[in-house]
């Protein structure tokens, strides 16, 4: 991430009701628990407007709650043009959203856009799969991946 100190992080998936709000909640939990000294603003958004204004999927809320993470106050929003300049790091949940973000972003901001799973190099997946059309286990798997990536992200921010 160069010499720039990361102050704002945006987590992005397609609709902003499953993966990216879960990433936001997981990373907020990691910060509060392990790095209350770090001054980092975090948010989440979607590349599509399917669910703008809606809370996270009830299954995401329930799975996160079982791990002590509260997503209930979050509301879906779409990535805005100004986000590319505002956020120091924009973390996509998968390759499709990564490409969509790079398509929309001015070239000067492309270095800020990365995959969330880059921070979990030993994880079984390079992307966070969308659990929306699957069963309950998919939401648990998403949490496992995001918890690992969140720890890696925190380690990188501490460096």
Residue numbers annotated as active site = 13, 19, 130
Is the distance from CB of 139 to CB of 67 less than 8 angstroms? no
Other beta carbons less than 10 A from residue 154's beta carbon: 18
**Token pair listed for 4:** 């720039």
The answer for residues whose C-beta is within 8 angstroms of residue 102's C-beta and 6 or more apart is: 110, 113
**Token pair listed for 57:** 């999927």
For 126, phi then psi, to 5°, come to -85, -10
């Amino acid at each position: 991430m160069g010499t720039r100190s990361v102050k704002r992080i945006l987590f992005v998936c397609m609709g902003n009701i499953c993966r990216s709000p879960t990433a936001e909640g997981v990373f907020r939990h990691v910060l509060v628990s392990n790095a209350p000294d770090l001054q980092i603003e975090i948010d989440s958004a979607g590349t599509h407007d399917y669910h703008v204004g809606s809370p996270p999927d009830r299954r995401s809320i329930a799975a996160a709650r079982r791990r002590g993470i509260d997503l209930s106050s979050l509301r879906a929003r779409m990535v805005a043009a100004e986000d590319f300049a505002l956020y120091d790091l924009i973390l996509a949940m998968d390759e499709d959203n990564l490409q969509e973000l790079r398509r929309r972003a001015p070239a000067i901001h492309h270095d800020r856009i990365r995959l969330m799973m880059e921070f979990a190099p030993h994880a079984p997946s390079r992307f966070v799969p969308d659990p929306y059309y699957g069963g309950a286990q998919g939401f648990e798997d998403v949490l496992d991946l995001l918890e690992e990536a969140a720890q890696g992200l925190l380690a990188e921010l501490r460096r």
